[in-house]
Amino acid sequence: MEIIRTEDLTYTYPISSKPAFRDVSITIDKGEFVLLTGPSGCGKTTLCRCFNGLIPHFYSGKLEGEIMVAGLRVPDHPIHELAQHVGLVFQNPENQLFALSVEKDVAFGLENLGLPRDEIRERVDWALKVTGIYDLKDRAPYELSGGQQQRVAIASILAMRPEVIVLDEPTSFLDPLGAQKIFEVIDRLNKRLGITIILVEHRLDLASKYADRVIIMNEGRVVLNGRPRDVFISDEAQLVGVGIPKATMLYKLLRENGIELGRVPITAEEASQMIREALTHDRG
């Protein structure tokens, strides 16, 4: 069942003459884990802003084409209504936490919705536990590491129980270990809670293994859209200049030299497994 559909979506920022992206037609199904990537300035952040209505409601400008999210036509519904279906996590964790304690921050969205206090309490505790930061609930945001702050941001979105969570480069301020932890949390939300994930990310080496689908954008257009293996192996992906996983690059190099591994690997583990298989096969 589809949860997001865009048809020939084109958007131009108010002061700009050139569209930030044009003719984007994608469909995302419920429960999918989609990895959205592309070089800087390709329009992926702008596209994310459309999913919860920041475009066209917060940013004016010209939006053409159709966009439906959770059965709602985005231009017809206010952000606060769309925000209950689509949660957006931003790049800089520092600028999306407002309160002086973690617990209060996670409650912020729910307070805005005017939910009864007992329900807020219950949902906040639940979200803190799912993201593994229950122990931090009384801390102030500036006492936390970047990775912890980003998990607070995810928890505060999660508490609103959206069907879709969009994460716009959530790990770009984090070290690899912090990033890894964030990906694990996101994967848990997807696999265990069935939440649809759209992850904008440059660290494909770490993130690819979780994704069901990869969409690559370049210069405001969707250039590739499909299963991670199919996308990464294509020559176009390399031309666009996204950081194709090293395991896939190795596969391509080996193939150019006449060594066929059989399947396309995405992670280092997969690649080493396949090479080991190929070697034992050769010897036998």
Partner 1 sequence: MNMFDGFRFRRVSSPIHDMDPRVKFLYVLVIFAAAVLFDQLLPLLVLFVAQMPLILVAGVKRECMRSMRGSSLFAVIIFATNMLSLYLYSGGGYGSIPSIIERSLAMTFRFMVLVESFSIFFLTTSPDHLGLALEQSGVPFDLCFAFTTAIRFVPVMAEEAQTIIDAQKARGLELERGNFIRRVKNYVPVLIPLLVNSIRRSLELAEAMESRAWGASPKRTNLYVLKMKRSDYYMIITSLIILVLAAYIRLYISIPSIYELLSA
User: What mask of x and - would describe binding to partner 1 in positions 43 to 72, judged by CB under 8 A?
Assistant: ------x--x-x--xx--------------
Q: Which of 201, 235, 196, 205 is nearest to 215 (CA)?
A: 201
In this structure, the number of other CB atoms found within 10 A of the CB of residue 142 comes to: 9
Amino acid at 172: S
DSSP 241: T
Per rule CB under 8 A, count of chain residues that contact partner 1: 45
Half-sphere exposure of 276 (CA within 13 A, CB side): 6
Q: Taking CB under 8 A as the rule, does residue 30 contact partner 1?
A: no
Touching partner 1, residues 153-212 (CB under 8 A): 156-157, 160
Among 68, 72, 99, 206, binds partner 1 (CB under 8 A): 99
Give the C-alpha distances (Å, rounded to integers) separating 265 from 114, 179, 200, 250, 274: 48, 21, 21, 9, 8
Dihedral of CA 218/215/175/140: which sign? Answer: positive
Among the listed ranges 102-110, 127-135, 195-203, 235-243, the one in contact with partner 1 (CB under 8 A) is 102-110
Rounded CA separation 136/139 (Å): 5
Q: Taking CB under 8 A as the rule, does residue 145 contact partner 1?
A: no
Q: Taking CB under 8 A as the rule, does residue 141 contact partner 1?
A: yes
Among 11, 90, 183, 232, binds partner 1 (CB under 8 A): 90
Among 5, 30, 121, 252, binds partner 1 (CB under 8 A): 121
Kindly state the smallest distance separating residue 276's Cβ from partner 1, in Å: 46
Kindly state the smallest distance separating residue 247's Cβ from partner 1, in Å: 35
Secondary structure (3-state) at 7: strand
Rounded CA separation 110/283 (Å): 62
Give the C-alpha distances (Å, rounded to integers) separating 38 from 96, 241, 243: 24, 8, 9
Kindly state the smallest distance separating residue 88's Cβ from partner 1, in Å: 4
Q: Taking CB under 8 A as the rule, does residue 124 contact partner 1?
A: yes
Among the listed ranges 86-94, 127-135, 213-221, 250-258, the one in contact with partner 1 (CB under 8 A) is 86-94
Touching partner 1, residues 249-278 (CB under 8 A): none
Nearer Cβ to partner 1, position 141 or 178?
141
DSSP structure string for 119-181: HHHHHHHHHHHHTT-GGGTTS-GGGS-HHHHHHHHHHHHHTT--SEEEEESTTTTS-HHHHHH
Kindly state the smallest distance separating residue 253's Cβ from partner 1, in Å: 41
- Residues near partner 1 (CB under 8 A) are 49, 52, 54, 57-58, 79-81, 83-84, 87-88, 90, 92, 94-101, 103-104, 107-117, 120-121, 124, 138, 140-142, 156-157, 160
